């Protein structure tokens, strides 16, 4: 039997970005998608564990006019307690988050997409070299967001 195309809308109504600590990649991705699509869908972010918001992540998004300085990292359990896990798409950015998301699909009906994304916190060097690593992650995430959410959806800025 050959499976046909998936029967899900191309533009989900609620998207969760997930990474290891909810301190760098997932808040950056959530901020970028909110900017890209405005209020046309709900965007959340969570981590397998809870970290501290990374100032370099805040800085590289500020460079392009996006403010995530008020983001408070949370883990999956806190997210479930605060908002529930009512997402129809979970985008994972790190292997531990991907495993956690797949585990969650046993109890929630969500699609899971894995976008392997380097962890810029591992980059050493000068402040500028480190910022450049974060910029690369930002730009990679923005390109993926445009590719995944930008075609045929009529999105835009608010």
**CATH number of the domain to which 112 belongs:** 3.40.50.2300
Q: Closest Cα partner for 21 from 84, 96, 123?
A: 96
Q: Is the residue at 38 inside a domain?
A: yes
Predicted TM-score (pTM) of this structure: 0.87
From the number of C-beta atoms within 10 Å of its C-beta (0-12, 13-18, 19+), residue 92 rates as: buried
**Burial state string for 19-34 with b = 16 or more CB within 10 A and e = fewer than 16:** bbbbbbbbbbbbbbbb
In tens, the pLDDT along 23-64 reads 999 999 999 999 998 888 999 999 999 999 999 999 999 999
Q: Is the residue at 24 inside a domain?
A: yes
Q: Is the residue at 156 inside a domain?
A: no
Residues with Cβ within 8 Å of residue 67, at least 6 apart in sequence: 31, 58, 61
Q: What is the residue range of 47's domain?
A: 19-146
Q: Is the residue at 10 inside a domain?
A: no
46 by DSSP, 3-state: which?
strand
Number of domains forming the structure of the chain: 1
What confidence tier does 10 reach under pLDDT thresholds 50, 70, 90? low
């Amino acid at each position: 039997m050959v499976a046909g195309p998936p029967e899900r809308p191309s533009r989900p109504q609620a998207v969760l970005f997930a990474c290891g600590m909810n301190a760098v990649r997932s808040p950056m991705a959530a901020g970028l998608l909110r900017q890209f699509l405005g209020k046309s869908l709900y965007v959340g972010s969570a981590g397998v564990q809870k970290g501290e918001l990374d100032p370099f992540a805040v800085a590289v998004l500020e460079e392009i006019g996006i403010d995530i300085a008020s983001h408070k990292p949370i883990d999956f359990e806190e997210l479930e307690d605060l908002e529930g896990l009512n997402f129809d798409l979970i985008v994972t950015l790190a292997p531990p988050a991907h495993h956690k998301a797949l585990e969650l699909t046993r109890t929630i009906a969500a699609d899971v997409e894995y976008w392997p994304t380097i962890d810029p916190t591992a980059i050493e060097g000068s402040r500028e070299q480190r910022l450049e690593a974060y910029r690369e992650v930002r730009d990679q995430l923005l390109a993926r967001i445009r590719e995944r959410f930008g075609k045929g959806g009529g999105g835009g800025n608010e």
